[in-house]
Amino acid sequence: MGVVNVTPDSFSDGGVHLDPDVAIAAARRMFEDGAAIVDIGGESTRPGSDGVSLDEELRRVLPVLERLQGDVPVSIDTAKAEVARRALELGAELVNDVTAFRSEPALAEVCAAHDAYVCLMHMQGEPRTMQLDPRYDDVASEVTAFLEERMMFAIARGVREDRICLDPGIGFGKTVEHNVELLRRLDVLLALGRPILIGVSRKSSLGRLAGDPEATTGPLGASVAAAVAAYERGATILRVHDVREHVDALAVARALA
């Protein structure tokens, strides 16, 4: 899964894809480079962010979705039912909601009505404050219990189970140690029986593990290493900014598996 953030403030590509022409070209390039799907987002969820209005989010993503329609398989990264509805009408195949239908529960019915694929992600707290003091007794089992509950919620609202993938939410209300623990113990999540999506690309935990305690992003080599490790532990969808490098690395990892 390639990532194109049509935002001024995303943590690693903020401002880069704000111009629709640039965003569309980036999405097409990611698809040509081997992404199975490209995740388009109009709202940053980086630590400390406040969110954007419905009008602003639509203004950012609609021109991009309109011109990618029929060309590139698209996922919409949104927590807003109306954004998802418009994106699905424009051919989006997957709704990626980092709030797992907690922000707008009606988003579940929108996904069900379109028979859309859905990614449900774990987050402790909300983006504005989530990195202040994240705490867990046992991060892997707490994240798994949360995702199981959200999956049951989605199914109760009409989403087919075989449409759902699950994501532990690397960096969303988690310390470096929590992120490492989740990636090491993916088997606990896999026991839920659904495909696992991992978004660790360029995240600050990687920069910190690579030796910079003040890092706000992670280097490419660290992103690729984490993606391969997640793949080897059973993750099947890797959400990444640098598609070509990850496709090459995963092809080799698959050949050696």
Question: Is 239 an active-site residue?
Answer: yes
User: Smallest distance from the beta carbon of 87 to ligand HH2, in angstroms?
Assistant: 15
Per CB under 6 A, the segment of 1-9, 78-86, 184-192, 215-223 that binds ligand HH2 is: 1-9
Among 239, 243, 246, 249, indicate the residue that binds ligand HH2 (CB under 6 A).
Answer: 239
Q: Of 86, 194, 203, 208, which is the active-site residue?
A: 203
Does residue 199 interact with ligand HH2 by CB under 6 A? yes
Q: Of 139 and 255, which CB lies nearer to ligand HH2 in the complex structure?
A: 139
| Residue placing its CB nearer to ligand HH2 in the complex, 5 or 131 | 5
- Least separation in angstroms between residue 144's CB and ligand HH2 is 16
Q: Which of 169, 148, 167, 170 is nearest to 222 (CA)?
A: 170
* Near ligand HH2 by CB under 6 A: residue from 72, 90, 95, 98: 98
CA separation, residue 252 to residues 31, 34, 35 (Å): 19, 14, 16
If one asks whether residue 41 binds ligand HH2 (CB under 6 A), the answer comes out as: yes
Instruction: With CA atoms as reference, report the closest residue to 120 among 153, 86, 84, 156.
Output: 153
DSSP H/E element including 180: helix 176-184
Give 193's contacts (C-beta < 8 A, 6+ positions apart). none
- Is 203 marked active-site? yes
Q: Which residues pair with 117 in a beta bridge?
A: 94
Among 2, 5, 64, 208, binds ligand HH2 (CB under 6 A): 5
Residue among 44 and 131 whose Cβ is closer to ligand HH2:
44
- The DSSP code sequence of 20-53 is HHHHHHHHHHHHHTT-S-EEEESS---TT-----
Structure tokens at 99: 């709030």
84 part of the interface to ligand HH2, by CB under 6 A? no
The string of DSSP codes covering 200-235 is: -TT-HHHHHHTT-TT-SS--HHHHHHHHHHHHHTT-
Q: Which of residues 130-169 bind ligand HH2 (CB under 6 A)?
A: 167, 169
Cβ atoms within 10 Å of 70's Cβ, excluding its own: 8
Catalytic sites, residue numbers: 203, 239
- Interface residue list for ligand HH2 (CB under 6 A): 3, 5, 7, 10-12, 41, 44-46, 77, 96, 98, 119, 121, 167, 169-170, 197, 199, 239
